[in-house]
Every structure is written in C-alpha cells, then in structure tokens.
C-alpha cells in the first residue's frame, strides 16, 4: 500500500458576524434537525456523503459507539432534503471553552453542484453559533471551526471561505492511500 501526502486546513469563525450566508438554492430544499439519535441514519449519511471522498474513520464504529456519540449533549445533525430526499448533512459538536466544531459536512454526490452546499453550510454555521440556546448548560458559542483536506471535494475550501471562515492552520501528513469505499461495498463496481 502506498502513502499519499494529505494537506489539512483548519478554518474558523470567531464571531457570528463572520458568517456570510449563501443564497438559497432553487426548488424545495429544506434543512431539518435530526432530533432523535439514530445510528442507522447517521451512518447512512456518513457513508453516502463521504464514500467517494475516502471518509473511513467511522466505518468500523459499532452501533453502540454511534449511539454513544450521538447522545452526547450538544451533538447535532442537520439534514438538507431536496423534495423529501436526504441530500447532505452537517454534524456539529460542542467543545471546551465555547468552541463548536463542524465535524462533518457534505452532500451526497447526486446533489452536488446545485447550490445546496453553500446554503447547508450557512445554515449549519448559524446553528453552531446558537447551539447553546438549544442546550441549557452549554457554554455560549465563542468560536465555530472545521477542517477540510485535500481529499475533500474540489469546491469545499472555496465554500468555506465564501461563508466567512478564515484559515488558521495548515498541516501536511503522509497517510496510507485508501480506495474510496463508496456508500456500500461494491458501489463503484457497476
């Protein structure tokens, strides 16, 4: 197995006024919070959005591990639906000192390139800024941050910058090259 150099960029907003919302997409696109922790649904979103861009770190998680993660106070999943069909999601979790990380964000491949991503990221970042309003006991949000890498979609970095995120760190590391698994075994074979 060969190694590849992967660049990871970390970006942040340090005030709600940093957010530069995107225009909404055409059509019937809605964004809804998945309020009931569902390992099955979250794994579906993770595998479907990240399958072609090598998201693999959670594929081995057990049902119990998914449930434990999703039931943590302040962990939220917001799902974009296009005419009733899941199109993508944003997952966030609170961290120490009022930071909220957008841990995962993306669209299922069939929904990319239709202006849904900018809208979903805008909405997700706004929900990260008001996360403490929905979760009594959490520290109010002082910073929203995320990371993207050279394995992510070609428009990811541009979308983050257009939404008002600013770069604060860059790292380059060697990683074992992984074949994109697709949303399920054999998805890329036919």
Q: 21 in a domain, yes or no? A: yes
Q: What is the pLDDT of residue 190?
A: 42
Percentage of residues in the chain having pLDDT higher than 70: 93
Q: 147 in a domain, yes or no? A: yes
Give the range of the structural domain holding residue 122, as residue numbers without chain letter: 3-182
Let me know: does 12 contact 165? Beta carbons within 8 Å.
yes
Average pLDDT over residues 64-89: 97
Q: What phi, psi does 119 have (nearest 5°)?
A: -65, -45
> Taking CA 128 as the corner, what is the angle to CA 167 and CA 101, rounded to the nearest 5 degrees?
50
Q: 189 in a domain, yes or no? A: no
**Quick one: angle between helices 63-70 and 39-50, nearest 10?**
100
Percentage of residues in the chain having pLDDT higher than 90: 75
Q: 190 in a domain, yes or no? A: no
Q: What is the CATH number of the domain that holds 64?
A: 3.40.630.30
Question: What's the domain count of the chain?
Answer: 1
Q: 132 in a domain, yes or no? A: yes
pLDDT of residue 115 exceeding 60, the answer is yes
């Amino acid at each position: 197995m060969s190694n590849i150099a992967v660049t990871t960029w970390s970006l942040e907003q340090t005030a709600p006024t940093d957010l530069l919302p995107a225009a909404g997409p055409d059509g019937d696109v809605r964004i809804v919070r998945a309020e009931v922790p569902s390992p099955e649904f979250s794994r579906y979103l993770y595998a479907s959005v990240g399958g072609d861009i090598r998201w693999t770190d959670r594929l081995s998680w057990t049902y119990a591990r998914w449930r434990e993660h999703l039931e943590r106070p302040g962990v939220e999943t917001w799902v974009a639906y296009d005419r009733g069909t899941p199109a993508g999601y944003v997952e966030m979790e609170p961290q120490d000192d009022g930071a909220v990380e957008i841990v995962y964000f993306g669209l299922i491949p069939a929904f990319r390139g239709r202006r849904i991503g900018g809208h979903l990221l805008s909405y997700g970042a706004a929900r990260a800024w008001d996360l403490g309003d929905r979760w009594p006991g959490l520290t109010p949000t002082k910073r929203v941050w995320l990371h993207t890498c050279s394995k992510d979609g070609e428009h990811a970095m541009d979308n983050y910058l257009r939404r008002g995120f600013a770069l604060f760190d860059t790292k380059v590391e060697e990683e074992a090259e992984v074949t994109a698994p697709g949303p399920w075994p054999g998805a890329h074979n036919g």
